[in-house]
Amino acid sequence: MIKQAIIPLAGLGTRLLPLTSVFAKELLPINGKPGIEYILDECIDAGIKEVIFIISKKKKMIKDYFYNDKFYKNIIKSKKDPRIIKEYKKILKYKKMIKFVYQNKPLGTGDAVLKTKKYIKSKFFLMLLPDDLIIKNNCSKSMIKIHNQYKSSVMASMSINRKTVSRWGIYKLKKKIDKKNFLIEDVIEKPSKSEAPSNKAVIGRYILPKKIFSKLLKQKPGKSNEIHITDSIQSLIKENEKFIAHIFSGKYLDCGSLNGYIKSTIEISKL
Ligand code: UTP
């Protein structure tokens, strides 16, 4: 059973500057609620019991957000406002399930994942990239179902415009399992148009095997000199580890770019 999730949060958020120069993008409000809370709610609803946040010293405010008890207690004592009491209870619920690990140099997603190595207990775990919101359907929950059925790794996937392949991890199909699930033959991080084996992109939800850590330990920096999780996934696939691409049915919102961030508030306000 998948009970642990990890969330890399140690990136610099340069695409959202100037909003991110002193503020953690994951705490920016999307329709009045910090983005990270949507991700946590998805985890809870998918049956996750422990979430590991990979943060950096620069992103310490993320930890502070969940550890502001004294402040809440004082306000509640003087104001007794039911709304604030409810919000504080929600924060306490989140806090109980979160563990923090640090990646102080942003060497890439692969390096971030490696920081969680000693905390992962089961053979598989879930990873969510917080810039990628998926609304209207719980993508993690659907992926866990697929994992339980096929006992394999799973990655969320969608078709993208061919012109934008160099922004994504792009995979090559091996075999159709059913309408929404495909076996993957290869995956390439941010390929050029000519390198891209398809227009199918990996979106920020992964069910990964614990054995990825042995690959990450040896992983050399790839594109833009970063250690990419995709490169270690590629090595595992080459050694016949089964990876399934799951075409999710929710709506994808890219909160990592300024345009996408603005649009996501509009989309969520329509729900
Ligand atoms: P991105 O590279 O897409 O986002 O990382 P970023 O670095 O935060 O922002 P930009 O590109 O500069 O605008 C995808 C996810 O991986 C995390 C990020 O926090 C983000 O959630 N990440 C990335 C790390 O935790 N560590 C890293 O070294 C790199």
Flag whether the pTM goes above 0.85: yes
Question: In a mutational test of the pocket of ligand 1, which residue from 6, 7, 9, 190 has the highest number of ligand atoms less than 8 Å from its CB?
Answer: 9
The predicted-structure confidence for 70-129, as pLDDT tens digits, reads as follows 999 999 999 999 999 999 999 999 999 999 999 999 999 999 999 999 999 999 999 999
Reference 196, options 165, 235, 155; nearest CA is 165
What pLDDT does residue 116 have? 98
At residue 236 the predicted structure's pLDDT band, cuts being 50, 70 and 90, is very high
**Mean per-residue pLDDT, 137-150:** 98
**Mean per-residue pLDDT, 202-228:** 97
At residue 62 the predicted structure's pLDDT band, cuts being 50, 70 and 90, is very high
Residue 8 CA: which ligand 1 atom is closest? 25
Q: Are 198 and 173 in contact (CB under 8 A)?
A: yes
Nearest CA to ligand 1 atom 2: 11
CB atoms inside a 10 Å sphere around CB 233: 27
Q: 108 CB less than 6 Å from ligand 1? A: yes
What pLDDT does residue 91 have? 98
Q: Which two tokens stand for residue 166?
A: 């160099």
Please give the distance, rounded to the nearest whole angstrom, from the Cα atom of residue 260 to the centre of ligand 1.
Answer: 16
Q: Are 203 and 167 in contact (CB under 8 A)?
A: no
Q: 227 CB less than 6 Å from ligand 1? A: no
**Mean per-residue pLDDT, 165-172:** 96
pLDDT cut 70: percent of the chain above it:
100
**Mean per-residue pLDDT, 206-233:** 97
Q: 11 CB less than 6 Å from ligand 1? A: yes
Mean pLDDT computed over every residue of the chain: 97
What pLDDT does residue 188 have? 97
Please give the distance, rounded to the nearest whole angstrom, from the Cα atom of residue 262 to the centre of ligand 1.
Answer: 19
What pLDDT does residue 53 have? 98
The structural domains of the chain, ordered by start, are 4-269 (3.90.550.10)
**Mean per-residue pLDDT, 174-203:** 96
**Mean per-residue pLDDT, 203-220:** 98
Provide the 8-state DSSP code for 68: -
Q: Which residue has the tokens 């990450």?
A: 216
Buried b (16+ CB within 10 A) or exposed e, 25-60: bbbbebeeebbbbbbbebbbebebebbbbbbbeebe
Q: 7 CB less than 6 Å from ligand 1? A: no
Reference 143, options 203, 99, 189; nearest CA is 203
Q: 103 CB less than 6 Å from ligand 1? A: yes
Q: What CA–CA distance (Å, rounded) separates 176 from 181?
A: 6
